[in-house]
Chain A
Amino acid sequence: MLNGLRIVGANTIESLSSVGRAGTLLFQSVFSLPRPLRALKLLTEQLYVVGFMSLLIISVAGMFIGMVLGLQGYTILIKFGADSALGPMIALSLLRELGPVVAALLFAGRAGSALAAEIGLMKATEQLSSMEMMAVNPIHRIIAPRFWAGVISMPLLAIIFNAVGIFGGYLVGVEWLGVDNGGFWSSMQANVDWYQDVVNGVIKSLIFGIVISWIAVYRGFDSKPTAAGISQATTQTVVHSSLAVLGLDFILTALMFGDIA
């Protein structure tokens, strides 16, 4: 009985202090720009690892998702003779939901897991402690550039995902299935609103970027310094950030498109 209470208490304290540690880490990463020029170089390196290296998987996935949307949309819309609505259907599904969400899920799997594993291994091999020993703040040197690189890369990747996806939908819809080219683009332009659809989608992906990078660097930084600890941190990064992305997406969609006054 008492032992059961103890377990509940220990878990509560652990989860609350974990939230606290995560919050402190986020605060420190966001507000740590010690020497701008030096930081810029570190940031560029991480932008390369986190952003540029994710480019391939993001573009290939975007292309295929756009093509599938084109194919599925066409087979349904043609039944109603509404194949001219294919353009807005592809563009709206990508810009509002699929672009930010699928890009974020891929990003969590491709970049988030790598960040957590890298930081976790640095911790396990005591690189972080030796940095502290040399009076180098590991949060400035390791965590902050990775966090910022994730935050910056995510919206950029989502934008590329959207553009490539729409192009994929165009390839299938117009080039292959023969939807009218002019109607495809003009009805897209008539129905897609710059602020309501495009900008809101980018805001979504920015928020996803913050959440994924935060979870990844926190899980890595807070991992147990063992092989099992690193693998756990990597798994938790992917699981938690995927769930966070899907849950947040619902809330953001309700706020942006739900018209709840």
Chain B
Amino acid sequence: MDSRKIQISVGFFVTAAIISMITLGLKASNLNQYAGQESYEVTASFNNIGGLKVRSAVKVGGVVVGRVEKIDLDLETLTPKVTMHINTKFNRFSSETSAAILTAGLLGEQYISLTPGGDDEIIQSGDEIYDTQSAVILEDLIGQFLFSKDSGESL
């Protein structure tokens, strides 16, 4: 076998692998979410974050605008503090914006839902969202339901 044919075959092999890698990156994984998207940072404190994870989605009306970057416990207030990175494209949120932790479907993943407010002042990078609503814990809900049912009967 002459070396030209060998070189072409090896070239084909390596190119096929590179194309596959790019396809895996762009089509099958979240590589495109890492790449080159500028974002700004917003924090929010919740009483309970439930099953929220790092890289959970941040949505406005169902549209993904960012990701959860960091989850930490605020040592002064002892409440969970969530740091989100929001795409710079969406930089029109007022400082009255409220954040709630919701669940996609009954058993789905939890995400942060932002509801824009009407104030003229716009949220800047590093700002905190104060109006927050914690995750609904199913066990608490069942407990409340049972308790209210009991008290209803006793009255």
B9 CB to closest chain A CB, in angstroms?
4
Contact between chains at B6 and A95 (CB < 8 Å): no
Contact between chains at A166 and B6 (CB < 8 Å): no
Contact between chains at B17 and A189 (CB < 8 Å): no
What are the interface flags for B25-58 relative to A under an 8 Å C-beta threshold, 1 for contact and 0 otherwise? 1011111111000000000000000000001010
Contact between chains at B10 and A197 (CB < 8 Å): no
Contact between chains at A189 and B16 (CB < 8 Å): no
A253 CB to closest chain B CB, in angstroms?
18
Contact between chains at A193 and B29 (CB < 8 Å): yes
> How many pairs of A and B residues are in contact by the CB < 8 Å rule?
83
Q: Looking at the complex, which one of A47, A52, A163 makes contact with B20 (CB distance below 8 Å)?
A: A163
Q: Looking at the complex, which one of B12, B24, B27, B30 makes contact with A190 (CB distance below 8 Å)?
A: B30
Q: How many residues of B contact A (CB 8 A)?
A: 27
Q: Looking at the complex, which one of B10, B21, B28 makes contact with A47 (CB distance below 8 Å)?
A: B10
Contact between chains at B28 and A160 (CB < 8 Å): no
Q: How far is the CA of A156 from the CA of B55 in the complex (A)?
A: 29
Residues on B with beta carbons closer than 8 Å to the beta carbon of A185: 27-28
Contact between chains at B20 and A48 (CB < 8 Å): no
Residues on B with beta carbons closer than 8 Å to the beta carbon of A162: 20, 24
Residues on B with beta carbons closer than 8 Å to the beta carbon of A166: 24, 28
Give the contacts of B80-121 with A (CB-CB under 8 A).
Answer: none
Contact between chains at A91 and B9 (CB < 8 Å): no
Q: How far is the CA of A112 from the CA of B153 in the complex (A)?
A: 76
Contact between chains at A189 and B13 (CB < 8 Å): no
Contact between chains at A194 and B29 (CB < 8 Å): yes
Contact between chains at A198 and B24 (CB < 8 Å): yes
The answer, yes or no, to whether A256 is at the interface (CB within 8 Å) is no
Dominant secondary structure at the A interface? helix
The answer, yes or no, to whether A173 is at the interface (CB within 8 Å) is no
Residues on A with beta carbons closer than 8 Å to the beta carbon of B23: 163
Q: Looking at the complex, which one of B1, B21, B32, B34 makes contact with A159 (CB distance below 8 Å)?
A: B21
Contact between chains at B14 and A189 (CB < 8 Å): no
Contact between chains at B17 and A44 (CB < 8 Å): no
Residues on A with beta carbons closer than 8 Å to the beta carbon of B16: 55, 156, 160
Contact between chains at A48 and B29 (CB < 8 Å): no
Q: How far is the CA of A116 from the CA of B78 in the complex (A)?
A: 62
What are the interface flags for A183-215 relative to B under an 8 Å C-beta threshold, 1 for contact and 0 otherwise? 001001110111001100010000000000000
A168 CB to closest chain B CB, in angstroms?
13
Contact between chains at B27 and A193 (CB < 8 Å): no
> Which residue of B has the minimal Cβ distance to A45?
B6
The answer, yes or no, to whether B7 is at the interface (CB within 8 Å) is yes
> Which residue of B has the minimal Cβ distance to A202?
B21
Residues on A with beta carbons closer than 8 Å to the beta carbon of B24: 95, 159, 162-163, 166, 198
Known: A95-B28, A163-B23. 4 other contacts (CB 8 A): A47-B10, A48-B10, A185-B28, A190-B30
Q: Can you spell out 8 A-B residue pairs with CB atoms less than 8 angstroms apart?
A: A48-B9, A159-B24, A160-B17, A162-B24, A189-B28, A193-B30, A193-B55, A194-B31
